[in-house]
Structure 1
């Protein structure tokens, strides 16, 4: 979608009196920064999500005074509708079911996408939703530029998925925000808390690996921080699948990561795993995930089986 058209679509919602702006559960910096930027377009709006946000999102919220409501506590009748950013899958925000979705802004691929809206601004080539919004809004204040800068750095996997436009956009935002890179990086990649360190080290203790078609593929299970564990293990393995059992939802969450040299798109692997086991999966070629209606052992075995077939 062209910038002028996208800007017009975003501003078309300014006619509504009150909008809820939602991002996926366990909000990350990218989702939060995108939602925050839109509050400047829709002043009488509320940011919402579900579950506890990630550490970087907490730090950004504290830095800029961003308040995030639990979407489950919002009364739908008090709002004209919902704008969803950084996801388009009910699996990642099941509480959005029953809401009127006014607009979706996302950068994830089509696998697992089941939310519908008349306005959908989706760029699967963008490393982050923050970058999409930064390139649509014609002007912004220092706080918004700061938030979007952090979002771009956090979701870009240390610029492994960056494009030329990413660096141009970030440079512009940093100038507006008058912020240096180290200041932004401290929020984009915060030092893990003790519980996260323990979860990651436990994942490494439980790690198994197999050699498939020239790739070292690792699997493990954690009780929390599966995304952090996957990212760290991927520094050594070529591909990693990390599983976490969610007792309340009775499902397994998978975080998958791959090195840049891996030719198998993980979003396709996660989509096929979800179709076989029930649930939903998708994401990016090198960073993807799934929510599966089975226990962790079966989920990890199926990830390996489907990846093997694609090699």
Structure 2
């Protein structure tokens, strides 16, 4: 068994948004549809040591019942969420035979609304974030404080989630990425990898699967596989405005994307990189069942 008693990793779609077309290319391996709904790609990680761990939470049950109130009417009108209750992380955990209380830890790439909606469904879980992301929403003097609070929706934090900044005392490198840390109290081989640019403390979640291969959930560091997989990188015109509208540091975002391109190119035999919203990457991940 892998270190920390990791048992299995499930790739979940915890929220579908408006459809986007594939851009002038062959579908990625394992995918056939040329138009798909934008996804909220989350991970459910089964462990013997730490119970269930969620990496991001997508949209929660309250979001799906009262979207305008919970997510914001303007955002809902733009994103056009499908509002399917069966896509909530809570429903998917129960379908797998678990109780909501079995989710003991949630590790977030960042605190934007389409990543935090499931927090109220697991109020008992310890919620791990990068220290800069934590500070941005708890310290009024922090850089990007107002920006971060505007995107960490009141409905998602009204229950006072157990936000826990990852310890930075034992920072290390991971495939050349600096400042990497293990969330507090986790025994399994799971890491927070800083991927700056999208938010104050945007990070990827790296975890070893049952075959010893690393998975890197890159959050919103990029949104379309064309940004990483093509010799001349290109973003999706339907997704690029979302990136530009929420980023905190354009240069850092571009540098992060370039580092992820190099990581994928140089370590393709060791690491699978995927973003939070690319539906073709999600289809590939669910087909391979990491």
TM-score (norm 1): 0.30
Answer 1 or 2: which has greater helix percent: 1
The structure, 1 or 2, with the larger RCO (C-alpha pairs under 8 Å, 6+ apart) is 2
| Structure exhibiting the larger radius of gyration computed from Cα positions | 1
TM-score (norm 2): 0.32
